[in-house]
Amino acid sequence: MKATTPTTLRALRDLAAVAAAGLAAASIWAAGLPDDVGAGVAPFEPQVGVDYALALGDTRISLRVENVVKGMEYAIAYGGHTYTYVLGPFDATHTAVREVADFDGDALPDFVVDVDEATYLLLSTHAAPGANRPAVEFAGHDGC
């Protein structure tokens, strides 16, 4: 019998983190948000082209939303790096930040955002500096 490689264990750990985050996002989507949303960051509707300064614990976060050709671009910066996500349809008109919290236990910010009729989970464990894809997308509901 062959021993389990560290890569396999890492993949299983990552799969478990994604599954847990997906369940957390599904719970939020189904039940709505609790009153103490976002560990100090209240839900808000960011304006396009405006820089926002947020904090999650000791982590300082900057956020900017822009309309781009393929949707709404979220640029989230912390720890000296910027992580971008293009979300929603090309003609997206409405967005809201529903929650900022540490869903995956890595002490870095994770986001739940709405863009038009979809909700997205942006996990820091899946992000690399530059362009990223959301960890989970719940489409076709009345998010915003």
Per-residue pLDDT of the chain (144 residues; tens, 9 = 90+): 555 556 666 666 665 555 555 555 554 444 444 443 445 467 899 999 999 999 888 899 999 999 999 999 999 999 999 999 999 998 999 999 999 999 888 989 999 999 998 999 999 988 999 999 999 998 865 545
**Domain segments of the chain as ranges:** 6-139
CB 22 within 8 A of CB 71: no
Q: Would you call 96 exposed, middle or buried from its count of C-beta atoms within 10 A (0-12, 13-18, 19+)?
A: middle
Q: What is the pLDDT of residue 14?
A: 62
The pTM for the full model equals 0.70
Q: What is the pLDDT of residue 64?
A: 97
Q: What is the pLDDT of residue 30?
A: 46
